[in-house]
Structure 1
Amino acid sequence: MQLLASVALLVLPVYGATIAPTTKDITINVINANVAPDGFVRSAVTANGTFPGPVITATKGQTLRVTVNNKLTDPTMRRSTSIDFDGVFIDSSDSYDEGSPFVTTCPFGPGTSYTYTLPLGTQTGTYWYHSQLSLQYLDGLRAPLIIYDPADPQAHLYDVDDANTILTVADWWHNSTVPLLAQYLTNQIIPVADAPLFNGKGRYNGGPITEFAAVPVTKGLRYRFRLINMSGRSDFMISIDNHTMTVIQADGVATQPHTVSQLDMLAGQRYDVVVTANQPIGNYWINTVLGGGNPARNLNLNVTLGRGILRYAGAPNAEPQTPMTLGPGTNILVEGDLAPLVPTRPPPVDINLTFVTSMQVNASSPSGFNSKWQINNISYVSPVVPTLVKILNGASSAVDFNTTENTFVFPANKVIQITFPPSTEDELHPFHLHGNNFWLIKPNATAENDINPIKRDVAGAGSGGTTVRFVTDRPGPWFFHCHIFWHFNAGLASVLVGGPDQIRQNVHPTEAWDELCPAYNALPADEKR
């Protein structure tokens, strides 16, 4: 498998045109750099020295070849790395180029490189890439990835879809995640973020008055905003003063247009919305209100200060004169109200599973406390030998894996349904499936729909109960985990293996991939972490 990276020039879609599949080469240098998205300067793990990192763009049918050069040197953070392309299927037998550490690959250390090869096939939409190793992406290694469709069936709904319409929200910490994770595992309290960010900018209580990110629009035009929640923990409630948003896509899958005034995005989720610039020329607040953690546990955090500005052409370069609010609080998106653009009834279920999430607390651990998240009373622990290596060496059933790998093995082309029953937990876990979409049969606390549910790759599992359904038609071992990465790193994960026989028949890793694990295992301990 090959390592991915680089700054790509934004390629805008040419609607109605036919673009022959090509290979696009991208290079990303993963380096430590000082950044200050909220005015507080800290060393970070970055793609090409910026946060967020450079946008990777592609056109439907292309193959991305992303070379990642690991140039990390700061010993206070992780110095190995591994890149995941969130939501991208990798539409070929190259399932080994899906950068899930110890599932499909091993990380690679400082001073080395790897190239990921990603055949995109027919996939289009809004995605992102980030480090999948431990909590490293919370230290900065995260950025958008957009696949444009030259013949977009929804192109008639908007006029503008360019670099300025890619919008990100994220949570941000002032300290390295290495000690913060150790703290979390001992005291059971997720460290509260220092600031919310919109397009890489925000503020914190007592910090400098940094500029909010402005999004330029021209009166009378319709804009396709590609919203990405790149958080490690937080959901965001998003709205734009005096404007509505028409949802046309969820996690890269087209939906019937559905107009709302406000929507909630969980960590890892993406929504494409159309906003018409139909108000008097001026500046309007883009409200992005962070949810996740008690601000009393971190006095830096002001959940409303990750906002942006919708700035009409002709308006002054200034903040809106209207009050900062939490949004309208009305006409909020109900996920169950979304319908697919092309209705497809899910096939009947072959295998039913129930996933019960819970937290286990061990007060007698040497540190005094140790908390682990579990699925069906098992807390996921990364194996030394990656799942895919075991499969290529003959593993064919769940008994071939350690219990703590929480691995489920299914034949190819079977329909799997996973139900998270209602619980008493005060959590909404955004579960993300790698390498596949699932039908969202029952959104959390919403009625079941097995007639025309949407498909996506991140959905919240919480007190109201959630059900998802997918087909094992993409052979490979795929992570299915909580995208609150604090929970993920405390064990809230599983691996879903589809078609082990087909994996052995079709997956033929490269020599570079074969060399990853021996090289990683030979690293000094301080370069692995």
Structure 2
Amino acid sequence: MKLSTATVPAFLSLLVAAAPPAPKFNDVTLDIVNAPLAPDGFTRSTVSANGQFPGPLIRATKGDTLRVKTNNKLTDPTMRRSTTLDFDGIFFDTPNAFNEGTPFVTTCPIGPGASYTYVLPLGQQTGTYWYHSQLSMQYADGLRGPLIIYDPEDPQAHLYDVDDESTIWFISDWWHNATLSLLESYNFNQIIPVSDSGLFNGRGRYNGGPETEYAVSTVTTGKRYRFRIINASARSDFTISVDNHTLSVIGVDGVPVNPHTVSVIDALAGQRYDVVLTADQPIGNYWINTVLGGGAPRHNLNLNVTFGRGVLHYDGAPDAEPTGPMTLGPQPGDPARILLNEWELTPLFPVAPPPADIELTFLTSMTPNASSPSGFDSKWNINNISYVSPLVPTLVKILDGDDSKTEDTFILPANKVIQVTFPPSTEDELHPFHLHGNNFWVIKSNGSDTINEVNPIRRDVSGAGAGGTILRFTTDRPGPWFFHCHIFWHMNAGLAAVLATGVNETRHAVHPTGAWDDLCDAYNALPAELQ
């Protein structure tokens, strides 16, 4: 049938109305450079985004498509000169798996002098995330920063008055020495180097160092503040509290939860918590206690765990440090101590996890190197296998139809429900396990015997240790996803696996760009000292 000229405009308008909205691109440029920085008063060369620590905030809105142009300008030979970026907690649908950023799993690193643009359609995700280098121990050299996805229609907006760049609490451990030498030492003796300091929003102090100014969070009496806590550590957990104040937890790892009031939060490496603090105390200055755990200070005399902190400053108070002592926060036996227990959190929008189709048991262990007379050069294992990065990224092998593997890879079918159980162990370790590209239901938390298959929380980092942990997730996003301990020293010693879900679906759905294809050729052509 031939359309009349009168009909054409109406017909076209229907097509326009039916078309999906064009993506809103959010362009960010990060220059990865070596910069001399002194966050705790000690100047050292760093690997940094745009020459700063923490790296610049990547601010996005629900529905954005992020395009993060990453220019590698690294030159310092004492640290890795190639790099990658991982966006912790961001989902990656299968066609976009090649932008996920895990070296030798979904991509090759970006060599010095090269650039790559990561494209991240954010879909309906909102909440608190962060980015960091995933290559070796490089993010402990400084390459880490916040990524926040704001929701213009936030269902929790009635709980707070202020939520902006000033309400991000970026917490991290910090080393004075470059990590190449530290990693070499760790690989030999399996003693994790103890950090020199803990930092709150890029500020801190160490024993014998200068009295650098602490970072300040300013509040106004009567207002409620959504503070977004990011533990961007390479090793350490942090015990977080604010003198004379309580914290209402409303989000974990980007997922909203029902308000849960506590006074103490123990955040493992890689975990994020959104909390609401009400400025309801007398005008003054109060310590924000971020007490670093992980390694005895006697192993590094620079470390003073009470020096990693910030200041909650009320408008109208003197511009001065709090007059009260630097404590470790409320301790056991103190009526003011209300500790956050992960299993007590409930999701704002509960989704009961489906029954598991496949059950995996992951046993973590450390085995010494039998060829070493000292027993050093040990490796961490999952089910007696230590992860070793392949020379060819797992995704490349999948796309090439190569089924060989040298790494600890679990082949899982698409569109199934997978349960991973970490049984109780005798290890004196709590491993914060992180799943890339997805998140999981926490069916059983390490500190509780409760099995919750009705309304468990979802998150992407949870601790596995002596108490046993059960996690469940779906494989509705096929791809090779890294699953690892977020203590990066452990990860680099093999405590990781690849969950390769839906290999055939991945092969048919992923069509990488030429720029991605070029990364491996360029990286493999580099001399070893530039990789």
Aligned to 2:352: 345
Question: Aligned partners of 2:93, 2:437: CA distance in 1, in Å?
Answer: 9
2:205, 2:238 → 1: CA distance? 16
For residue 226 of structure 1, give the secondary structure of its aligned residue in structure 2. Answer: strand
Is the CA contact 2:231–2:237 (under 8 Å) kept in the aligned structure 1?
yes
The equivalent residue for 2:46 is 44
TM-score (norm 2): 0.94
Match of 1:486 in 2: 489
Matched, 1:385 2:392: yes
- Structure 2 gap segments, 5+ residues each: 1-20, 332-336
Of 246, 252, 255, the residue aligned with 1:253 is 255
Paired residue secondary structure (1:304): helix
Q: How does 1:117-516 map to 2 (within 5 A)?
A: 117-329=119-331, 330-365=337-372, 369-395=376-402, 400-402=403-405, 404-446=406-448, 447-516=450-519
- The structural deviation recorded for 1:366 is 8.1
The alpha-carbon deviation at position 369 of structure 1 amounts to 2.2
With over 3 angstroms needed to count, the CA separation of the structure-2 counterparts of 1:161 and 1:20, relative to structure 1, is farther
Q: Normalising by structure 1, what TM-score?
A: 0.94
CA-based RMSD: 1.2
Instruction: Measure the CA separation in 1 of the matches of 2:375 and 2:208.
Output: 34
Give deviations 1:445-500, integer Å, cap 9, x for gaps.
Answer: 21221111000000000000000000000111100000000000000000001111
| SS of structure 1 residue aligned to 2:376 | coil
Moved over 4 A (4+): none
Counterpart CA distance in 1 for 2:321 and 2:111 is 44
Q: Verify the 8 A CA contact 1:186 1:368 in the aligned structure 2.
A: no
1:442 touches 1:448 (CA, 8 Å); kept in 2?
A: yes
2:240–2:289 contact (8 Å) kept in structure 1 = yes
CA, structure 1 residues 91+154, in 2 after alignment: closer, same or farther (shift >3 Å)? farther
1:1-16 superposed matches below 5 A: none
SS in 1 for 2:489: helix
What letter is aligned with 1:364? S
Check conservation: 2:284, 2:317, Cα contact below 8 A: yes
Cα distance in 1 for partners of 2:301, 2:88 equals 32
Native 8 Å contact 2:443 2:456 kept in 1: yes
Conserved 8 A contact 1:32-1:74:
yes
Greater Rg by CA: 2
Aligned AA for 2:323?
Q
The 3 A distance-change label for structure 1 pair 401 and 367 is farther
Q: Equivalent residue of 1:518, what SS?
A: helix
User: Structure 1 residues 74, 448: closer, same or farther in 2, change over 3 A?
Assistant: same
CA contact (8 A) 2:84 2:133 kept: yes
Match of 2:10 in 1: none
Q: Is the 8 A contact 1:170 1:198 kept in 2?
A: yes
Mapping of residues 51-70 of structure 1, within 5 Å: 51-70=53-72
CA distance in 2, matches of 1:319, 1:522: 53
Partner residue in 2 for 1:521: 524
Structure 1, gaps ≥5 residues long: 1-18
Whether contact under 8 Å (1:186, 1:367) holds in the other structure is: no
Report deviation, 1:516. 0.8
Rounded to whole Å, the distance in 2 between the matches of 1:149 and 1:159 is 14
